A and B are shown apart, each in its own frame.
Chain A
C-alpha cells in the first residue's frame, strides 16, 4: 500500500520528519518497504490551454501546437508527438528552462520547427507510467499555475507491507487511524460525503450468504471526462492509472477508505435489478479485462435480468461496464466474505485491488460511507447527482460476528511482562477504537468494526503491547525448564562428520533436487519422490542418493580448472514408501527411522546418509605428498573410521557389478548380511558423462544405521590391556587363487592364530610365472603377543602350522 504523505496529513497531524515517521511505522506493525518521491525534480511545468494545432509540415507523427504562455495570455509554439488532445484542453507545458527528472529543457529545433519546451506525458512528470499521450487535465485550473504549486509532486510516498490480518491498513484512512492511535492523537473527521438519496433505488435480492453489506446508489446526469489534477496525482502516487473521472473516483475512494466500489452503467443493467447469488457452476462471464471466465459452484456472482453481470469482489463484467457515454451509474459498495473471494481469486489466478482488500476483510460498516463519499466526488468531477439508493441488510455468517472479548488484565500483563494495570490497558485499547468495560481485573472489549483481527485475549495482548511499545518489554532469561543438550546420536553425528573431514574430504551442502538420470548409490532403485510443481526439469524429484549432488560439485570445480577435489555431504535421501531401501533398515534398526503423518499416514522414506566423491590430485605443490591422487581406498578408509567411531563391527565388503560403477573396483558394504553402503570407482563412461577425468571415486553409507544404534544405547569403548611382554612378528606369504579375497584370507588367519594375534595387516601382493595359473601371492604381517607370558619361536611355529592347515582348506598355501 502506497501512502502519499500529504494524504495522511489530511487525516492526522504528523509533526515529525519523514525518517522518524518511518521508524515509528516500522516499529508498530506498519512495516515500511520503501519511501519514494515520484516527480521529484520537476520544476517550471505550468498549466496551459491548447489554442491551435496543425500537422508538422515535415513529419507525419508530429504536431505543431500553440498553447497559452506563462501569464495565460501570450502564445507559445511547441512541437508535440502526442495526439490525445484537442483545442481547448488543459495540458502541462514544460517551458524553456524547466526541469524534468533527468533533463533540462531548452528551445530546440525539431525537423526545422522550433519548439519552446514540450508538452508532458504523465510519465515524464513522474505522475504515472502512462507515456501514450499528454496529461490532459479536467476541472478548473488557473492557466499558468505551476504544477508543483497545484499538487505536491515529489513529496514522500511511503509504501508499507500489509500484514494478512490487517486489511484495515489497505487504505490511507486506515493507516491514518492507526497512526492516530499510536500517537494518541485525533483522527480528523471523515472527508466530505453526499447526502443519502431516498431509498427508492434498484431492487437488490441477496440470495446467498457471504455478503457483509450491499449498498447501491443510482446517480444521474453523469458526464465522464478527465479527472482533476489533484486526483490524478494521488492515483499516480499510489500506482493506479487514470482512466476517466468515474472510474478514477471509485479507485480514489478505495485508496482513501479501503472500500472497493464498482460502477455499473445502469442503462446496460438488464431489467434494472440485481440478484446476488452463489454460482451453481458453469456460467460464463466476460470480465472487465476482456477475459471469458467460467464460474465454479460457490463463486459469488451478481446477476441482472440477463444473467451474470459481475464477479463479486474480484472483477466487474464487461457487459455492464461504464464507458465515456455513460449517463446513469449504479454505484455498488459491497463487502464480501474473505474466504470466498480468496478461493475464487486463487482459482482464477486473478488478483485485483478489490480482491486483495476483500481477502483481508473490509469493514462491513464502512460501505455506506464509502458510497456516499464517492457520490460526492462524482458530483465534483463528473457532474453526477444521486437520485436513489438501496441499502440491503447483510447476510449472516460467523465472519461477520463481532463478539465481545473478555480478558484478565493481570494475565495479559504477565504474558507481556509489562506492568500495566487494567485501566491503562483499557486506555490503550480505546485508542484503537475498542469499546472497553473494566470490572476489577477483567477487560470486556468490543473491537471496532474495522478490526477483524481482535478476537481473543492473545490478540488484545498484542494490541496492548503494540500501542504501549514493544521496546518496553524487558529482556530476561527464562528459568532452565528442562535438561537440554545433544542426545547420543546427535553427538555421534558431529563426531562422524569430524572423522570424515580428518580424512581430507571437504564438506559441501547441495540442493537436494535431481532430474531423471542419477548415479545409483546405496541400495539402488528406480523409486523417486517426485515434485508436483518442480522448479525446473532437472530438479523434478528429491534426491534418491547423495551422489548426484556431489558429482555435480566435482564437475563444477573441474570446470573451474581444479585438478582434484574430495567432498562429502551428510543429509537425507528420499525414496517412495515401498522402496527397497526400507528392508535393510527395518532389518537392522526396526521401523523407528520411518516418518509418518497424522493418523499414521506413511511419509516417503528419508533416511540420513553420508556421501563421498573425489577425483584427481590429492596433494599438489606445498602438500606433504605432492603426487598422491584420490583413490577408492580413501573412501573406504573414511568409512572404516566412521564405523569404528560409532563402535560398530567392521562392515563386510563384497565385490559388485552395478550400472555406472567400475565392475572390478566396486564393493558393497554389509552389516549382518544387509547392504548399508557402496564404495568404488565410477565406470569410465560415467566419469566421461560427468566431464570428469578417470578415476572418479565415490561412496555412500547409511548413516541412519549407525545413528539409530547409538540412540538405542551409547557405545562405550573399553580400555585395552597394554601388554608389556614383547611381541613376535611373523611375515607370511599366502599363495591363493585370485577368487579368494584378502578379506577371506584375513578371516582364516585370524581364526587360525587365535587370541595371541595382536595385529594383522596385508602389505604386498605379487603375481608371476612362478605361481600357479590364476593365483597370486599376498604377504601378511602377523604380530603375536600374550598378556600372560613372553612368546617364543615355538609359539610362532605352532601358529604357522595352524595357518597352513586353515589355508589348505581354502585351497591356498603358505609360500615357501
Chain B
C-alpha cells in the first residue's frame, strides 16, 4: 500500500464524516471507516503477512491514517453533540414570566408583625419582654398606678369588669405588667410589655373593645427625660424612617409626672401625628411598687400597635384587623 492509496481511504472517511448529519449516521461511518471490517481495519490486520521492512513502512502509514481519521471523527462527533444539545435545549424552552405555581404558605398577622417589630426595636436597646394576665387585679391595673378608686382617670378608661366586688377587671393597659415587674425585680429594670388590652368601647371604624399595646418601662439611677426622648426618637425612626422627628407635648397620665404626648413627623400634608403617651414614672408609682424614688427615676411609655399599623400601612378601619378577611390577611 502506498501513500496514494492511503489518501483515497482518508478522503473517503473524511467525506463520510462530514456528510453525517446525526450521531447515528456518524457512528455508522465510523464503523465503515475505522471498524475491524473497514479497509483500514483489514489493512492493519494484514500487516502481519508483510516482511519486516514493509510492515514498518506500511504500519507507520496506516497508523498515521488512523490517527488522522479518528481525530476527524471526534471533531465531527463533538459538532453533532453540540447541535443536538442545542436542539434539546430549544425543545425544553419554558415561559417563566407568569406566576409560579406554589405551595401555599400561611402569613403572620399584621398586628403580630408590627408588634414584633416594635418589641425588637426595644430589645435591640437592651429591653427584655414581660407578659402578664389579661384578666387582672384592679389593684395592679389601677391602685398601684396612682389611680385610686374614684380617681377621674378611672372614668376615662371605660373598664370592662369581670367582678367589681372582687376587683377583677379586663386590664385597660399593659401597665399592670410593669407593676408586676417592679414588685418582683430590683432596678435597673428595662422591660417592654406587649399584649391585648380592653376598653368598654363599642366597635366602629376607630374603636375596638380589644386592642394591642406595647408599653415600656426603664427604671435606673439617673434616668432623665432626655433618655425618654432619645428612646422614643430611636423607636420612631426605626418604625417610620430615619428622617422622622418626635415632638413631646405636656399631657396628663396618673402614673407619670411629667407626662408627654409624643407626636411623630409625617409628610407635610399630615404634619405631626400623635402616636403614643409617655412620661417620667410618677414617684408615687415607684413607692407603691417598692422602689425608692429618691434613688431611682424612670420613664414609661405606651404604644398602640393598631395605631402604628394603621398609620404605616394605610388601614382605614380598625375592624379589618380583627375580622380576618382572607384578602386582608393576604396583603401583609
Of all chain A residues, which has the CB nearest B137? A597
Check A478/B152 contact, CB under 8 A, given A486-B123, A501-B107, A598-B140: no
Check A473/B126 contact, CB under 8 A, given A510-B322, A535-B200: no
Check A462/B250 contact, CB under 8 A, given A456-B283, A501-B107, A624-B101: yes
Interface 1/0 per residue, A473-485 and B, CB below 8 Å? 1111110111111
Check A485/B250 contact, CB under 8 A, given A415-B224, A478-B218, A478-B227: no
Contacts of B99 in A (CB 8 A): 622
Inter-chain contact B106/A504, CB cutoff 8 Å: yes
Asked if A604 lies at the interface with its beta carbon under 8 angstroms from chain B, I say yes
Inter-chain contact A501/B229, CB cutoff 8 Å: no
Asked if A431 lies at the interface with its beta carbon under 8 angstroms from chain B, I say no
Interface 1/0 per residue, A354-385 and B, CB below 8 Å? 00000110000000000000000000000000
Asked if A503 lies at the interface with its beta carbon under 8 angstroms from chain B, I say yes
Contacts of A529 in B (CB 8 A): 135, 162
Contacts of B257 in A (CB 8 A): 456, 458-459, 461-462
CB of A585, distance to nearest CB on chain B (Å)? 14
Interface 1/0 per residue, B118-135 and A, CB below 8 Å? 010011111111001111
Docked complex Cα distance between A500 and B105 (Å):
9
**CB < 8 Å: which of A477, A500, A565 contacts B125?**
A477
Inter-chain contact B135/A542, CB cutoff 8 Å: yes
Inter-chain contact B106/A574, CB cutoff 8 Å: no
Contacts of A414 in B (CB 8 A): 222, 224
Docked complex Cα distance between A593 and B100 (Å):
45
Q: Interface segment, A21-29, A386-394, A678-686?
A: A21-29
Inter-chain contact B226/A484, CB cutoff 8 Å: no
Inter-chain contact A487/B229, CB cutoff 8 Å: no
Contacts of B300 in A (CB 8 A): none
CB of B254, distance to nearest CB on chain A (Å)? 8
CB of A290, distance to nearest CB on chain B (Å)? 26
Inter-chain contact A487/B133, CB cutoff 8 Å: no
Q: Interface segment, B2-10, B33-41, B64-72, B109-117?
A: B109-117
Interface 1/0 per residue, B95-109 and A, CB below 8 Å? 000010111111111
Inter-chain contact B196/A476, CB cutoff 8 Å: no
| Residue among A475, A513, A539, A624 with max Cβ neighbours from chain B (10 Å) | A475
Docked complex Cα distance between A507 and B259 (Å):
36
Of all chain B residues, which has the CB nearest A486? B129
Inter-chain contact B258/A484, CB cutoff 8 Å: no
Inter-chain contact A470/B250, CB cutoff 8 Å: yes
Contacts of B323 in A (CB 8 A): 553, 556
Q: Interface segment, A162-170, A211-219, A231-239, A719-727?
A: A162-170
Contacts of A562 in B (CB 8 A): 326
Which parts of A535-550 form the interface with B (CB within 8 Å)?
535, 539, 542
CB of B179, distance to nearest CB on chain A (Å)? 10
CB of B238, distance to nearest CB on chain A (Å)? 12
Asked if A61 lies at the interface with its beta carbon under 8 angstroms from chain B, I say no
Docked complex Cα distance between A292 and B212 (Å):
43
Docked complex Cα distance between A512 and B282 (Å):
32
**CB < 8 Å: which of A29, A533, A556 contacts B325?**
A556
Inter-chain contact A531/B170, CB cutoff 8 Å: yes
Contacts of B261 in A (CB 8 A): 31
Check A622/B196 contact, CB under 8 A, given A503-B106, A509-B109: no
**CB < 8 Å: which of A486, A501, A557 contacts B105?**
A501
Inter-chain contact A478/B325, CB cutoff 8 Å: no
Contacts of B109 in A (CB 8 A): 506-509
Inter-chain contact B168/A476, CB cutoff 8 Å: no
Contacts of A533 in B (CB 8 A): 160-161, 200
Inter-chain contact B102/A471, CB cutoff 8 Å: no
Docked complex Cα distance between A758 and B139 (Å):
57
Inter-chain contact B325/A603, CB cutoff 8 Å: no
Asked if B240 lies at the interface with its beta carbon under 8 angstroms from chain A, I say no
Inter-chain contact B322/A532, CB cutoff 8 Å: no
Check A473/B150 contact, CB under 8 A, given A501-B106, A598-B139: no
Asked if B215 lies at the interface with its beta carbon under 8 angstroms from chain A, I say no
**CB < 8 Å: which of B106, B116, B224, B330 contacts A416?**
B224
Contacts of A410 in B (CB 8 A): none
Docked complex Cα distance between A481 and B107 (Å):
35
Inter-chain contact B220/A481, CB cutoff 8 Å: yes
Docked complex Cα distance between A478 and B188 (Å):
12
Interface 1/0 per residue, A8-36 and B, CB below 8 Å? 00000000000000000011110100000
Contacts of A572 in B (CB 8 A): 133-134, 196
Contacts of B164 in A (CB 8 A): 532
Docked complex Cα distance between A343 and B224 (Å):
37
Inter-chain contact B248/A473, CB cutoff 8 Å: yes
Asked if A734 lies at the interface with its beta carbon under 8 angstroms from chain B, I say no
CB of B245, distance to nearest CB on chain A (Å)? 9
Contacts of B280 in A (CB 8 A): 415, 458, 461
Docked complex Cα distance between A506 and B220 (Å):
41
Asked if A568 lies at the interface with its beta carbon under 8 angstroms from chain B, I say yes
Which parts of B230-276 form the interface with A (CB within 8 Å)?
230-231, 233-234, 246-252, 254, 257-261
**CB < 8 Å: which of A476, A511, A556 contacts B209?**
A511
Contacts of A494 in B (CB 8 A): 116
Docked complex Cα distance between A298 and B329 (Å):
55
Inter-chain contact B230/A477, CB cutoff 8 Å: yes
For the complex, count residues of B whose C-beta is within 8 A of A. Answer: 94
Asked if A497 lies at the interface with its beta carbon under 8 angstroms from chain B, I say yes
A-B pair count, CB < 8 Å, reads: 270
Asked if B58 lies at the interface with its beta carbon under 8 angstroms from chain A, I say no
Docked complex Cα distance between A661 and B130 (Å):
37
Docked complex Cα distance between A553 and B322 (Å):
9
CB of A416, distance to nearest CB on chain B (Å)? 5
**CB < 8 Å: which of B108, B167, B226 contacts A473?**
B226
Inter-chain contact B134/A606, CB cutoff 8 Å: yes
Docked complex Cα distance between A509 and B328 (Å):
12
Contacts of A556 in B (CB 8 A): 323-325
Contacts of A606 in B (CB 8 A): 133-135
CB of A344, distance to nearest CB on chain B (Å)? 11
Asked if A595 lies at the interface with its beta carbon under 8 angstroms from chain B, I say yes
Asked if A307 lies at the interface with its beta carbon under 8 angstroms from chain B, I say no
Which parts of B146-192 form the interface with A (CB within 8 Å)?
150-153, 155-156, 160-164, 166-168, 170, 188-190
Of all chain A residues, which has the CB nearest B210? A511
Inter-chain contact B251/A506, CB cutoff 8 Å: no
| Residue among A342, A500, A507, A530 with max Cβ neighbours from chain B (10 Å) | A507
| Residue among B111, B188, B229, B254 with max Cβ neighbours from chain A (10 Å) | B229
Docked complex Cα distance between A562 and B249 (Å):
47
Interface 1/0 per residue, A686-726 and B, CB below 8 Å? 00000000000000000000000000000000000000000
Contacts of B258 in A (CB 8 A): 416, 458, 461-462, 465-466
Inter-chain contact A571/B104, CB cutoff 8 Å: no
Contacts of B321 in A (CB 8 A): 509
**CB < 8 Å: which of B218, B224, B260, B329 contacts A508?**
B329
Inter-chain contact A29/B251, CB cutoff 8 Å: yes
Contacts of A623 in B (CB 8 A): 101-104
Docked complex Cα distance between A191 and B276 (Å):
40
Docked complex Cα distance between A456 and B257 (Å):
10
Inter-chain contact B230/A475, CB cutoff 8 Å: yes
Inter-chain contact B161/A532, CB cutoff 8 Å: yes
Inter-chain contact A475/B229, CB cutoff 8 Å: yes
Contacts of B209 in A (CB 8 A): 511, 513, 535, 539
Contacts of B125 in A (CB 8 A): 477-478, 480, 484
Asked if A346 lies at the interface with its beta carbon under 8 angstroms from chain B, I say yes
Docked complex Cα distance between A622 and B103 (Å):
9
Q: What are 11 A-B interface contacts by the 8 Å CB criterion?
A: A164-B156, A473-B248, A475-B229, A477-B234, A478-B223, A484-B125, A509-B321, A511-B208, A562-B326, A604-B162, A606-B134
Known: A501-B105, A603-B168. 6 other contacts (CB 8 A): A470-B250, A481-B189, A509-B109, A534-B160, A574-B134, A597-B137
Q: 8 tightest A-B contacts by CB?
A: A597-B137, A417-B226, A462-B258, A29-B250, A481-B188, A163-B252, A501-B106, A478-B227
